[in-house]
Structure 1
């Protein structure tokens, strides 16, 4: 099992929090669920962290069965749909987002 995660490091602009997460739920989540080979999609909103940790507003995770499945999803036109919406959403965000891919060790 491989999980590709998007980490939104930074802060949502004041007064934009509801619009930001509404865009995630109403526009991005449906696209993410259509990613080829996606087995599960999770979106987490940060509520607390260690005092010295960076500001993380949100983390998104999509599970895939293999690394080849991840690569197929990344080459998909569905990804471009999500990227266009993400670029629009980033107008409400001060920071950056980046991706990491994990190989699940436990549980299997």
Structure 2
């Protein structure tokens, strides 16, 4: 097998074997080509995920009010962002390290960066920012956003064991 093709296949053979085998390799730059191909192919399949991380802690005695506001006010707003495909709200159950804590992570899935940009310029986003102030007042820490490129997704529980 061509070493360049093998390098690409070994990166994640579960998802990409069939597509990569037919991908041309030029100038012995498999990783660069792999990334370009991956972005083009996977963006339409999985899209982008924009997350809001609440890093820190909810002020003592405010936990119930904080999560009620999230469920009753924020989730309906987040669900009405233009072009959003999915909204998830995660709360931290436990972690393998004590700090940092993430009592809330909000996850929105979009098809493209253009869709994220449209959502961020929307009136719904402006209203969301105003109503998030209630959460900020009950929270000690940092809130930041980041966008992830979804490169692999698998669902289901019936998996074959990996044999050595």
Whether these two folds match at TM > 0.5 is yes
> Which residue of the other structure, out of 70, 76, 79, is the alignment partner of 1:24?
70
Equivalence for 1:58: 104
| C-alpha displacement of 1:4 | 0.4
After superposition, what is the alpha-carbon deviation per residue over 1:35-67, rounded to whole angstroms, capped at 9, x for unaligned?
A: 000000000011101225411111000000111
Q: Which has the higher helix share?
A: 2
Alignment of 1:1-108 (within 5 A): 1-107=47-153
After the TM superposition, which of the residue ranges 54-63 and 20-29 deviates more from structure 2? Answer: 54-63
Higher relative CO (CA 8 A, sep ≥ 6), structure 1 or 2?
1
| Structure 2 unaligned regions, length at least 5 | 1-46, 155-164
Name which one, 1 or 2, has greater alpha-carbon Rg: 2
| Structure 1 unaligned regions, length at least 5 | none
| TM-score between the two structures when normalised by the length of structure 2 | 0.64
Structure-2 separation of matches of 1:72 and 1:10: 29
